Structure 1
């Protein structure tokens, strides 16, 4: 008897307890070890798949979709989806999804942890101690910046930005300023204790500035040498959004020459590669894109991707029931048009 269950490719090892139940509903092709897939390999996997669960490591565009005539859905495990060419997916009638909401508080935790570690020179102090430099207590050893009562700036005020604002305003008595493409309603501002300002004011007044905005071509290197020059030399910069928002060469230069006190980075423009200039600096805290890396949150992210996949494949209510579709209207319209034209999908 011919197999009628849809075929699903899972591009990386994920949370097995969440993935395993899929075996009863689909033909599952999993990946046993972390793998760097070439564009050609991705194309080959998609060519024989009805659905895919992928991570930010896999880039999918028109070339990878060229022979994917069966593909109905790409479920991305992550909030951001710069790795997806949504226009190409929509044109091919392929649904795409992401995993928002479930990682908000965990990522906000990490952002605030980086802020505190950078401002109070935690990793720099630990390295100094481990290297044997602590021979005698000194009144001026590792003087950092206060967090309580200082001014917290947030660039990008979505769910994660609001989570950071709450931590600053309610937990540390910080004055919270923010800039966003659109201003929050007054009640939302009041709930998180934040005040809206223009970008130049945000840069100039923030003691600690956290980047939480989406990456787009328009926001590429938004924090460049000119923007850094507007910040206080005593300020801390934290990036938990996307590496391309920051001109890392300009940042390293500002940190090296005292024009900025410290930085905390979880994302990088060329990740997993990190610029040698940043690696050489002691006043920057570096983490390997772990904003959502708690077991509970990563489990919830994979579950959200699975729920999106099953709905898109018609195994759990249909595309209208996808928890977080990115392109449902455009993809379904294209799918209908393609169906009329060639009888597929």
Structure 2
């Protein structure tokens, strides 16, 4: 370890085990309240510290990076997605950016299946009846949903999470289809018995369930726009645990209201934490508050990745999870 301990600022409350370990290794300023830092607080932190540990709730744009002090040399993001950080501007300023990839793969894939089941089996409606105390007993035709077995699943983005979803969906007897920037290797495709679609339009039109698992980049913004959503079968279901910006939420809302789509399971929204208010009370829409990666195990593993990135940097080496601008 270098003689002088690095000054590290953590922008949100993290699991206690992670905060304790960071405090043992570095001069850490922890967040007292579990609320996002204001822009002024972020600017102040970035002016003073060697390492900033932000989360998805901290928009670190060119303006903030421009105010950073000479000492700031690493932004060790707590989370895999870095679209809230201007990585290119950071690079130009000589500030490295790292993330925590691969940690939330299984947890997010589990949630995809949970949302798929919740929508296709009408759990939201059943829950509402039980909570209202209005259930009048079993009936042969009540709450009829559709089974997942035999259905075609179209995975949009076949990276780590997309493949983990495919593995789970296979166990449910679903047929796996996918669209990706690059086709998978034949042996990977074979393992999932997956069908590759070069044309997203053609895939979307034929699927029973679409799962969005691609990152938000300029090229994926509104990838599922109004025109593409219209190609979906009226009996199809859409699940999004990735980034809200990938879907035109207004168009999705209109289609769900008009009965042009069977349902949706959403864990992310186009405008941050504000899902379209019209979606909130729809019986065929399951909305969750960005819970996809929310497991104790996952959050601690994310913290361990942050620790490893900061520790490696402190020892004078390149962080193992450094983000290069072209990568995301």
TM-score, normalised via structure 2 length: 0.94
2:38: which partner in 1? Answer: 38
Q: Secondary structure at the match of 1:154?
A: strand
Question: Are residues 1:237 and 2:259 paired?
Answer: no
Q: Distance in 1 between matches of 2:33 and 2:119?
A: 33
Answer yes or no: is the 8 Å Cα contact 1:43–1:63 preserved in 2: no
Q: Distance in 1 between matches of 2:97 and 2:235?
A: 43
Q: Distance in 2 between matches of 1:184 and 1:122?
A: 34
Report the alpha carbon displacement of residue 326 of structure 1 after superposing the two structures with TM. Answer: 0.5
2:122: which partner in 1? Answer: 121
- More displaced 10-residue stretch of structure 1: 3-12 or 52-61: 3-12
Question: Are residues 1:184 and 2:190 paired?
Answer: no
Q: Distance in 1 between matches of 2:134 and 2:258?
A: 23
Q: Secondary structure at the match of 1:210?
A: strand
Answer yes or no: is the 8 Å Cα contact 1:72–1:313 preserved in 2: no
Report the alpha carbon displacement of residue 191 of structure 1 after superposing the two structures with TM. Answer: 1.5
Q: Distance in 1 between matches of 2:63 and 2:43?
A: 7
Instruction: Determine which of 309, 320, 323 is the counterpart of 2:320.
Output: 323
Alignment of 1:214-293 (within 5 A): 214-293=215-294
Report the alpha carbon displacement of residue 229 of structure 1 after superposing the two structures with TM. Answer: 1.0
2:73: which partner in 1? Answer: 72
- Given the superposition, is the C-alpha separation of residues 328 and 270 from structure 1 closer, same or farther in structure 2, using an over 3 Å criterion? closer
Report the alpha carbon displacement of residue 329 of structure 1 after superposing the two structures with TM. Answer: 11
Q: Secondary structure at the match of 1:126?
A: helix
Alignment of 1:292-303 (within 5 A): 292-303=293-304
Report the alpha carbon displacement of residue 328 of structure 1 after superposing the two structures with TM. Answer: 9.3
Q: Any gaps of 5 or more consecutive residues in structure 1?
A: 331-345
Deviation by residue 1:250-279 (Cα, 9 ceiling, x = unmatched):
111111111000100000111212211111
Answer yes or no: is the 8 Å Cα contact 2:205–2:232 preserved in 1: yes
2:14: which partner in 1? Answer: 14
Q: Distance in 1 between matches of 2:177 and 2:326?
A: 36
- More displaced 10-residue stretch of structure 1: 7-16 or 137-146: 137-146
Deviation by residue 1:275-304 (Cα, 9 ceiling, x = unmatched):
111112111111111111111111101110
1:333: which partner in 2? Answer: none
Q: Distance in 2 between matches of 1:220 and 1:22?
A: 36
Q: Secondary structure at the match of 2:219?
A: helix
Answer yes or no: is the 8 Å Cα contact 2:12–2:36 preserved in 1: no
Q: Secondary structure at the match of 1:55?
A: coil
Deviation by residue 1:17-42 (Cα, 9 ceiling, x = unmatched):
12212223321100022123222221
Answer yes or no: is the 8 Å Cα contact 1:73–1:313 preserved in 2: no
Q: Any gaps of 5 or more consecutive residues in structure 2?
A: none
Answer yes or no: is the 8 Å Cα contact 1:73–1:95 preserved in 2: yes
Q: Distance in 2 between matches of 1:21 and 1:100?
A: 20
Answer yes or no: is the 8 Å Cα contact 1:118–1:264 preserved in 2: yes
Q: Distance in 2 between matches of 1:328 and 1:91?
A: 10
Deviation by residue 1:40-90 (Cα, 9 ceiling, x = unmatched):
221111100000111100111222122321001111111111111001110
Deviation by residue 1:84-114 (Cα, 9 ceiling, x = unmatched):
1001110111110111112111110011111
Q: Secondary structure at the match of 1:20?
A: helix
Q: Distance in 2 between matches of 1:311 and 1:34?
A: 27
- More displaced 10-residue stretch of structure 1: 191-200 or 255-264: 191-200
Q: Distance in 2 between matches of 1:81 and 1:301?
A: 14
- More displaced 10-residue stretch of structure 1: 194-203 or 32-41: 32-41
